[in-house]
Amino acid sequence: MFKRLLLTGAAGNLGKVMRDRLAPFAEVLRLSDVKPFGQPRPNEEHVVCDLGDRAAVHDLLKGVDAVVHLGGISVETPFAPILNANIVGVHNLYEAARQHGVRRIVFASSNHVIGFYKQTETIDTEAPMRPDTMYGVSKAFGELLSRFYFDRYGIETVCLRIGSAYSEPLDRRMMSTFLSFDDLTELVRCGLFTKNVGHSVVYGVSDNKASWWDNTKASHLGFVPKDSSEPFRAKVEAAPPIEKDDAMAVFQGGRFVNCGPFES
């Protein structure tokens, strides 16, 4: 158990899910987002913070032992908000972590770091990045920045290339990318408590029958998913089929490969 664990992005979809699930991991859970998100529960601290505000992020990291970083933009948008939250913001986070002696960060990266690989390919965690959007580029930046802060300053990071974290898969692509909330919780737990992770990259995906991602080189984390998309197959496949040349059926990033470009 940590004395104080920081969860950024606490008002987001996954932040709301992880709020209760992270509570057993720390004496105090410090929650942060750019907007208010209700009254603190027992053993919680709430901090409204714009990740692009360097001074505010510095204060946010005071007294923190470890970070689960879910904060930032999670879809393709005009570049300015991505730059502020996902690029400037992640630099502010790591620099504040360095100054305050934080030694462990679990960083929510994304499958959109490798979205331009075809669904016919199986890739491991050392495959060259092929981001499908500016959002994917920003997550690639976060992975590289976290590598730098480990090599130079020894801050350990586990980069979670999250697939599709929902209560159930919503389409055929998600039959391969589905990550259950229980498996996400276990993955975060492994990222926080496994010793000597250095800088690790792992695909956040459940034990789905058809998967494009090989986690063999992340086996030191001890992550063993328990759930699968298979119980939802009949429901998903009852929907009308998609064209074989649709991005949802061709690229690992699905329709993200066709997003934008947006005006800045």
Q: Which domains does the chain have, with CATH numbers?
A: 2-258 (3.40.50.720)
Amino acid present at 38: G
Q: Which pair of tokens denotes residue 94? A: 């790591």
Percent of the chain with pLDDT over 70: 99
Averaged pLDDT of the chain: 96
For 41-62, the pLDDT digits (tens) are 999 999 999 999 999 999 999 9
Instruction: Give the model confidence (pLDDT) of 185-240 as tens digits.
Output: 999 999 999 999 999 999 999 999 999 999 999 999 999 999 999 999 999 999 99
Confidence of residue 263 (pLDDT cuts 50, 70, 90): low
Query: Across residues 134-139, what is the average pLDDT?
Result: 97
Report whether 229 contacts 92 (CB < 8 A): no
Task: For residue range 153-194, list pLDDT tens digits in order.
Answer: 999 999 999 999 999 999 999 999 999 999 999 999 999 999
pLDDT above 90 (res 264): no
Q: What are phi and psi of 226, to 5 degrees?
A: -110, -25
The predicted structure's pLDDT at residue 38: 85
Kind of pairing between the strands at 44-48 and 199-204? unpaired
User: Which residues have a catalytic role annotated?
Assistant: 135
Q: How many CA atoms lie within 13 A of 148 on its CB side?
A: 10
